[in-house]
Amino acid sequence: QQQVKQSPQSLIVQKGGISIINCAYENTAFDYFPWYQQFPGKGPALLIAIRPDVSEKKEGRFTISFNKSAKQFSLHIMDSQPGDSATYFCAARITDSWGKFQFGAGTQVVVTP
Amino acid sequence: NAGVTQTPKFQVLKTGQSMTLQCAQDMNHNSMYWYRQDPGMGLRLIYYSASEGTTDKGEVPNGYNVSRLNKREFSLRLESAAPSQTSVYFCASSDLSETQYFGPGTRLLVL
């Protein structure tokens, strides 16, 4: 069963627009929440990550918002560019698990020119 | 510094055949992982190895075996392939900094 639920499944946004991807988790102790970016034919690569004691983290055009009480976190891509077209995965690390992660199902983002 | 490498890149098997997917990392990481990626399912952990000499089951281990040959290498074996094992397989490694570094993937088709 998927303990990290990600939405939407796909997203089309115009160049310059904002892409928002949401993830929610259930009932399991997680202590680290990364987002991965994957281009076609490639492996996922870490984009940005947050710990649960922080409510927001920003790196360039990418921002994670974290709501611990609601067990939700989201990725915002500001000023979206065609080069951002990729699949994005949220993930959550199980506490005391030697690095075991639960991944969301992924969101395919297409940025139109 | 090649990071995480996987071989082969693509493989076609017939039902019942066996094969081993190879993975190696040159980042001196202790932990290594095998995932499968299926449409709409994200990445699901098959097996992982927290350190050399140890392995443990992940979310979907049935039909697979692994070997942590040394600190660099972690192989995944399908003893008797089934069509349900058609997928893209990713190997990853990590250190205590938490970031997982993924290989380029192996695309497996089981007929």
Cβ pair A42:B104 closer than 8 A: yes
Size of interface A-B (CB pairs under 8 A): 60
Our CA-based measurement puts residue A83 at a distance from the nearest CA of chain B, in whole angstroms, of 19
Cβ pair A99:B41 closer than 8 A: no
pLDDT in tens, A30-85: 989 999 999 999 999 999 999 989 999 999 999 999 999 999 999 999 999 999 99
Residues of A in contact with B58 (CB under 8 A): 100
**What's the burial of A31, exposed, middle or buried (CB within 10 Å: 0-12/13-18/19+)?**
middle
What does the pLDDT read at residue A99?
79
What does the pLDDT read at residue A34?
95
Residues 44-63 of A with CB under 8 A from B: 44-46, 49
Q: Which residues of chain B have pLDDT under 70?
A: 97
- Residue ranges with strand state E in chain B: 4-7, 10-13, 19-25, 31-38, 42-49, 56-57, 64-68, 74-78, 87-94, 100-102, 106-110
Question: H or E element: which one contains A75?
Answer: strand A72-77
Our CA-based measurement puts residue B50 at a distance from the nearest CA of chain A, in whole angstroms, of 6
What does the pLDDT read at residue B98?
80
